[in-house]
Structure 1
Amino acid sequence: RDEGLHPAIRIALRAITDFAIPFQKSSKLYWRYFLVPEAEFTEEAIPQITAPVIEVKKAKNEVPEIKEELQIIKTMPNEPREKIEMVISEPKKEEMLTPAAKEPLIKNPAIEKKEILPEQILDKKALKKEAKKPKPKPKKQKSDKKEEGFFNKVKERLASKSIDITDIIGIKKDELILKVKKEKKEELLIAYNKRKITEGDIIEAHKKAKEADLPYSILNLSGIPKKIQDLIEALKDISSIEKL
């Protein structure tokens, strides 16, 4: 019951509306917990809270003011008694709109709203972006067939020369690296699925063979270019290249 509460608690209930809801029964103001429906209210079940002795004395000092208000209301013609009681028990609108009532005097940490950190906002945005990302499309079967066809072509070429494949080191779209046995000797075979090879391709093949500590040979669709062939022939007879 509102009239039986401590003044500070009355002000706090009007300011903190997160868990206390006001309602009227028998022309009297009551407060209920926000999870408890008003239909379950019984006046007998509510224990009356007695105010401290100091506050009781203050209430006695305020009695003459209430009586004066009653006398003024009684002089008004045709005013029902029930309405007079409602005016006494109902809190004044001015009291509910005072600045003190707007600012809560009692802070309850349990009902304070949790702050949303910037990291949490960024995480949510990142999750939304990931959800919107298109799923990676499966690789086309055409490229798989192309690699398979190139491998079979190399395999047939080696079989015609009685060269056995002992290990597959790597398979790419236009490149195949195999470990083969040629005349009972192991070597590295780098096959390129293109017509012209460059000096860079030969240097890269040499590096891979050096890492494997094996001699190497190269296959491509049209053989070695004439320019590179001339360079190889020139290097065979060279004695040295020195800086001047």
Structure 2
Amino acid sequence: MGSELSDEVLEFVKANGPVLPSEVGKYIGREILISSALLSELVSRKLIFISKAKIGGSPVYYAPGQEEKLERLYASLNEKDRQTYDMLKEQRIIEDSETDPLTRVSLRMIRDFAVPFTFEGRQFWRWHLLPEKEAVSIAKQGKAAIAEEAPREKKAPEQIRIFQAGQKSEQPSIASSIEFAIKHSTKLITSEEKPGKVREKVPEKISEEPKKPKHERAPKQMAKKKEDTSFLLQAREFLSSNSIEIAETLDSGKKMEYDFIVKIPSNVGSLEYFCRARKKAAINEDDLSSAYVQAQLRKLPCLFITTGKLTKRASEILSRDFRNMNVKNI
């Protein structure tokens, strides 16, 4: 019975893919949990593929040869990713080092459509329907065309510091601002002469306990909620102890992850930042990329606070690409 059901699901995907688990469940007359399990089994057997992008929180499943139909995911992409999608589709290949940091992040977020490849030690991205041999050929042609022209210097940091458009050039870097905040907040907290100022700089709402749920829940759910609350308080206390004010709390939509708009004191006044608090043992490139994109969409620098450590790859990306981002351990 199970084998027959799997075969039925496989045929449905081949005929209608890309499909959502809910569509498969409706077709076979089973709950979405069953259809998701059957689809996962087919993926593990490499009979079908699963997308990285999602529609309403769910990936789509498709059979070999249906890659062109992945355009169904286009509407679920955010504005920047749609722009990157359109650019890659038109240009067919993009050299990673020739793009701005936000586009580099976006390319890594649309892996269903952007496929990385290396040519002469340089990283490129090709449109997912373009064969790699053809992509390499295009890269060679581009190199030949550049060789015929006079050497041109790569444009420096004006294009990279996207969030600073329209801002004064003397604005301090995020790293110096954070260090200033931490350095001076320590003095304020330990000072016996001006305790009142410490209370003024730290919003009272930061120390408020989240309201307890009115209705009792199952023991497992309560334990999980308590753990989430514990990390949220830990993040708020870190910001408070460094005189960083929470101006707005955002909904990240993920567990153990909280987003804020914060105001950080600096030697030129209060500066606004996007802040993400993430509880995770190992922070990878995707974790940083996701936060960086959200900050750039708001045209703000990014403060990333975490209980974990950066992976080697994440550290490289941070120092090379995310120049308007600062990571702090709680």
TM bin (shorter chain):
0.3 to 0.5
TM-score by length of 2: 0.28
